[in-house]
Amino acid sequence: MLDIPSSVRVDVEALLAAQNHMGVCDAIEQYAPVGKPDTMTAPHLPKVAGIDSTVPPPAHTVAPASPAPAPPSSPGAPGAPGALIQDRLAGWVSDLTTLHELTERLARTAVMDDALHEVLRAGAALVGARRGLVVLEPADGLGPDTTVGLGLARADLGHIETVPRGATSYGRILDRTDGTGEPEVHADLLSEDGLDPRHREVAARLGYAASFALPLATEAAGRLGAAVWLYDEPAEPVERQRHLVGLYTRYATEHLARLLELERARTKSRTIAEELLPPRLPRVAGVQLAARHRTGPRGGGDWYDALPLPEGALGLTVGSVTGSGASAVAAMGRLRASLRAYAVMEGEDPVAVLSDLELLLRLTEPARSATALFAYCEPALRKVVLAGAGHSPPLVIGERRTEFVETSLSAPLGMLACWEAPSVEFSPEPGETVLLYTDGLLHRTGDPMDRAFARLHAAAAGVPRTIRDDPGAIADHVLHTVLPDGLDAADSDEDIVLLAARFE
């Protein structure tokens, strides 16, 4: 508690009258004596970034109806002006501290789904509710649109969505055209006249009796959606709670707007990268194909391709351009398109294909380098000739063996004035699968390269016999074994590509 020095003399009746029309700090400032106090100045509330420190009086502090001045010898007695001020200040400091902690927790979220759940949890604590939902529906119509619940299962959200939109709190907020930020308060839903019958049925089924809804909107961010908190019994937040949750949702809306912009940029980058890769794999007699691709949040330059060639041959390639983001994706698209052309002209000589690609990279992308692997396959003969430029060796997976193909060491494309390395030839057995992959699969493990290669080999050797006839199932098994617990889907700067070819 604050210790108000005895030198601060305040007329009690005047102070109590004044604080009904102004904040406590303003009253102290107006009635405090001129000059420097002995031990402290008039109290000032701590400032929290992004939060207006003007908070309504706490609900538990009520001015006495007929205040009686405390004796001079007991300034801290109950009902004394000093105790009243201390109580008021303590409430403000507690509220600001709570808001600061909640906004700090929200600021640490980097994914939209995590941020929406944090908004629901913080809002429920501020308004005293147990359940709620937030509907993300940006006013510009560009999405993404989603609904997240707190204490509500997916089936419960489905029941709520069956209520006509205009009968729900969030629906009325989202359908506003005047841009107002007024809350939707229903202190006793089941006793309201004119409540939609379907809304009444859903509320009774899910066991909520009141709701409090706020728009997620600011002038700068526009309208992003609406948040609704549900009470088990008839209730509504008091003025103080409404003010605090209003401050919090304004900050939350700005944070969500930044995450929304980031999410849209990531989606565009992923879409562009996917569009630059083959929309489907070709059907070639004697071989089955499957591919898996995971793009990092900023978009990377990993590619794969399968190209039918004359005389029933097949060209397989994987590669990676250095860097990430839109420029790396664009460079990847140019290299992949060029490699297809070189493969058609001289695909039976993989060294010539990569030599041409190296020359193109050096002339058009002098600041970049790339790793690549190109394999010329003759499925009818089960013959594969391949060349690699700084790329990891393929893996052969079969009943009797699981081994890496021995390829010659070579520098990545763009690293030497003239690239050239000998090709290698091998013959997969019937039923064996050749797995091509990019280094992102190894880097995402976080292990040193020797341990990452050992993990990849162990995953391939452990492919169950029941799925060895399916190259897609083999690729999935390897991917999820090398990168367990969702590491394959986690945000990373490393792209992942797997291209599996099973020879019949």
Q: Domains in the chain and their CATH numbers?
A: 12-104 (no CATH), 109-265 (3.30.450.40), 276-503 (3.60.40.10)
- Residue 271's SS3 state is helix
**pLDDT attached to residue 367:** 84
Please give the average per-residue pLDDT across 138-149, as a whole number. 92
The length of the chain in residues reads 504
| Closest to 350 (Cα-Cα) out of 311, 379, 309 | 309
**pLDDT attached to residue 479:** 94
Please give the average per-residue pLDDT across 339-358, as a whole number. 92
* pLDDT over threshold 80, residue 84: yes
| Closest to 293 (Cα-Cα) out of 308, 305, 284, 282 | 305
**pLDDT attached to residue 180:** 63
Pairing state between β 184-186 and 395-397 = unpaired
**pLDDT attached to residue 27:** 37
**pLDDT attached to residue 466:** 94
How much of the chain, in percent, has pLDDT values that exceed 90? 57
At position 297, the amino acid (one-letter code) is P
Task: Please name every residue paired with 482 in a beta bridge, in sequence order, or none if there are none.
Answer: none
Instruction: Indicate the pTM of the whole model.
Output: 0.64
Residue 148 in contact with residue 170, Cβ under 8 Å? no
Residue 167 in contact with residue 199, Cβ under 8 Å? yes
Indicate the pLDDT class of residue 269, thresholds 50, 70 and 90.
Answer: confident
Helices (H) and strands (E) in the chain, counts: 13, 15
Least confident residue range of 6-20, 84-98, 337-351, 430-444: 6-20
Edge-first strand order for the sheet with 210-218 is 146-150, 131-136, 222-231, 210-218, 184-186
Angle at 155 between CA 151 and CA 156, to 5 degrees: 45
**pLDDT attached to residue 415:** 82
Tokens at residue 173, please?
């907020």
Contacts 24+ apart (CB under 8 A), 350-353: 350/374, 350/375, 350/376, 350/385, 350/386, 350/387, 350/423, 351/387, 351/420, 351/421, 351/422, 351/423, 353/387
**pLDDT attached to residue 350:** 93
**pLDDT attached to residue 418:** 67
**pLDDT attached to residue 102:** 95
90 C-beta neighbours (distance < 10 Å), count: 14
Residue 35 in contact with residue 8, Cβ under 8 Å? no
Least confident residue range of 24-28, 145-149, 314-318, 496-500: 24-28
Cβ neighbors of 255 (< 8 A, separation 6 or more) are 106, 107, 109, 115
**pLDDT attached to residue 297:** 65
Please give the average per-residue pLDDT across 118-128, as a whole number. 95
Please give the average per-residue pLDDT across 187-199, as a whole number. 91
**pLDDT tens across 6-31, in order?**
443 334 344 334 434 443 334 333 33
| End-to-end Cα distance, the chain | 82
Indicate the pLDDT class of residue 460, thresholds 50, 70 and 90.
Answer: very high
DSSP label of 51: B
CA 57 to chain centre: 37
* pLDDT over threshold 70, residue 77: no
Q: pLDDT averaged over the chain?
A: 83
DSSP 297-354: TT-EEEEEEEEEEGGGEEEEEEEEEEEESHHHHHHHHHHHHHHHHHHHHHTT-HHHHH
DSSP 349-402: -HHHHHHHHHHHHHHH-TT--EEEEEEEEETTTTEEEEEEES-PPPEEE-SS-E
Q: How far apart are CA 20 and CA 11, in angstroms?
A: 15
**pLDDT attached to residue 17:** 40
| Peptide bond just before 144 cis, omega within 30 deg | yes
Q: How far apart are CA 131 and CA 278, in angstroms?
A: 45
Q: How far apart are CA 349 and CA 314, in angstroms?
A: 12
DSSP label of 59: T
Angle at 218 between CA 217 and CA 221, to 5 degrees: 90
**pLDDT attached to residue 299:** 64
Residue 53 in contact with residue 47, Cβ under 8 Å? yes
**pLDDT tens across 472-503, in order?**
999 999 999 999 887 777 667 788 999 999 99
Least confident residue range of 52-66, 84-98, 103-117, 260-274: 52-66
Tokens at residue 129, please?
């509710």
How much of the chain, in percent, has pLDDT values that exceed 70? 81
Helix (H) or strand (E) segment spanning residue 184: strand 184-186
* pLDDT over threshold 50, residue 82: yes
**pLDDT tens across 203-247, in order?**
999 999 999 999 999 888 889 999 999 999 999 999 999 999 999
Cβ neighbors of 161 (< 8 A, separation 6 or more) are 147
Tokens at residue 148, please?
């997240």
- Residue 213's SS3 state is strand
